[in-house]
Structure 1
Amino acid sequence: MPYAVGDLTESFTLPRAGGGEVTVATAGAPATVVIWTCNHCPYALAWHDRLQQVVRDYADRGVVFVQVNANDEQKYPADSFAEMERRVAAGEFASDFLRDAEQSLSKQWGARVTPDVFVLDPQGRIVYKGAPDSDHDDPTQNAQHLRNVLDDVLAGRPARLSGTRAAGCKIKWTVDDQPNPYV
């Protein structure tokens, strides 16, 4: 069964665009944000700048951010590791951009679309899963769902919103583009 809101998560290690691997300790930081995204989805691209601004705005508050691409790069070359590295080298990401080529982490987390945002409390418990805000076409929304949840977690309050329907392109699974069998 994939993770759900309220579940404790486990640390993970994935390759990072730009070199090396990153181990994400899901517990211990004031908050941790894991964002499933990709290079080609119009929803991910529409929310991209807003999400990078959230990373910058909360950087001095100890929040850990990682962004993960799990799409099948054979069928979707725009989502290849080489293209991820190109975007990172161009300065398009404000946090680590990781590759889940085996898609096992994405299945474990229950990620469905790009972007799919998960917020964890200091214990590594999922307190929010869903969209960054209410409308990918409206930049004035400013990733407000994500910001509100982060403000709550950082203040030690229960998250005022535990989840929304994530809107975006389905993750491109390596097996016949079938939906995640674990979700």
Structure 2
Amino acid sequence: MPAARPPVCDFGWTAREFRLPATDGRTHALSDLRGRNGLVLAFICNHCPYVLAVIDRIVRDARDLAPLGVGFAAICSNDAENYPADSFENMGAMAKEKDFPFPYLHDADQSVARAYGAACTPDFFGFDADLGLQYRGRLDASRAETGPEDLRRDLFEAMKQVAETGKGPAEPVPSIGCSIKWKAA
């Protein structure tokens, strides 16, 4: 199956409100997640090789963005019935194993993925302090294998710029990954 690529960033649209259960036992609303300088929403899942190749870097970047006032959350929207590795129980196990410093949210009805236009895992949405979209792009140049340690940290650098200036890069490089596993209609 070919990799999925989301469209280039549609700058400025406002993050859609939601309330989702998380592996930490709480239900989180969008407003609970934002930092004083922005927010990253990462659509990920447990089984995708593109996510697994960079999950430790996602955790690193979330930790490094927190002192810059950028909130972070991950959302799994995959059809867990046909992809049991992405079940809520398995999401909790991954969050614990990888020591996620952010909420891992379960979008069981896929409404949030649809509202955001999420296309693949991983798919990163970076918002400014007012929750306007400023970045939709890749974490780094890794693919289904972890890239070298010295790769440019695209997501981190973009969100650092958003935290400092309120604006993201003009030409982000799209993410690439497995398609969202949609439920049958």
TM over 0.5: yes
Task: State whether residues 41 and 74 of structure 2, in contact with CA within 8 Å, keep that contact through their aligned partners in structure 1.
Answer: yes
Task: State whether residues 35 and 71 of structure 2, in contact with CA within 8 Å, keep that contact through their aligned partners in structure 1.
Answer: no
Change in CA separation of 1:5 and 1:104 when aligned onto 2, cut-off 3 Å = same
Q: Which residue of structure 2 aligns with residue 140 of structure 1?
A: 149
Alignment of 1:143-154 (within 5 A): 144-154=153-163
Q: CA deviation at 1:138?
A: 0.6
Task: State whether residues 130 and 163 of structure 1, in contact with CA within 8 Å, keep that contact through their aligned partners in structure 2.
Answer: yes
User: Is 2:179 aligned against 1:170?
Assistant: yes
Partners of 1:58 and 1:28 in 2: CA distance: 10
User: Is 2:107 aligned against 1:107?
Assistant: no
User: Is 2:102 aligned against 1:85?
Assistant: no
Partners of 1:141 and 1:103 in 2: CA distance: 35
TM-score by length of 1: 0.87
Q: CA deviation at 1:165?
A: 2.2
User: Is 2:22 aligned against 1:13?
Assistant: no
Unaligned runs of 5+ in 2: 1-8
Q: 3-state SS of the aligned residue for 1:65? A: strand
Q: Which residue of structure 1 aligns with residue 83 of structure 2?
A: 76
Aligned pairs, how many?
A: 175
TM-score by length of 2: 0.86
Deviating above 6 A after TM superposition, structure 1's stretches of 4 or more consecutive aligned residues are none
Task: State whether residues 131 and 164 of structure 1, in contact with CA within 8 Å, keep that contact through their aligned partners in structure 2.
Answer: yes
Task: State whether residues 38 and 114 of structure 1, in contact with CA within 8 Å, keep that contact through their aligned partners in structure 2.
Answer: yes
Q: Which residue of structure 2 aligns with residue 179 of structure 1?
A: none
Q: Which residue of structure 1 aligns with residue 130 of structure 2?
A: 123
Task: State whether residues 67 and 98 of structure 1, in contact with CA within 8 Å, keep that contact through their aligned partners in structure 2.
Answer: yes
Q: What is the Cα-based RMSD across aligned positions, in Å?
A: 2.1
Identity across the alignment (%): 32
Unaligned runs of 5+ in 1: 177-183
Change in CA separation of 1:142 and 1:101 when aligned onto 2, cut-off 3 Å = farther
Q: CA deviation at 1:162?
A: 4.5
Q: CA deviation at 1:50?
A: 0.6
Q: Which residue of structure 2 aligns with residue 181 of structure 1?
A: none
Change in CA separation of 1:94 and 1:139 when aligned onto 2, cut-off 3 Å = farther
1:14 corresponds to which letter in structure 2? L
Partners of 2:150 and 2:115 in 1: CA distance: 29
- Point out the more displaced range, 24-33 or 107-116: 24-33
User: Is 2:18 aligned against 1:23?
Assistant: no
Task: State whether residues 37 and 162 of structure 2, in contact with CA within 8 Å, keep that contact through their aligned partners in structure 1.
Answer: yes
Task: State whether residues 71 and 79 of structure 1, in contact with CA within 8 Å, keep that contact through their aligned partners in structure 2.
Answer: yes
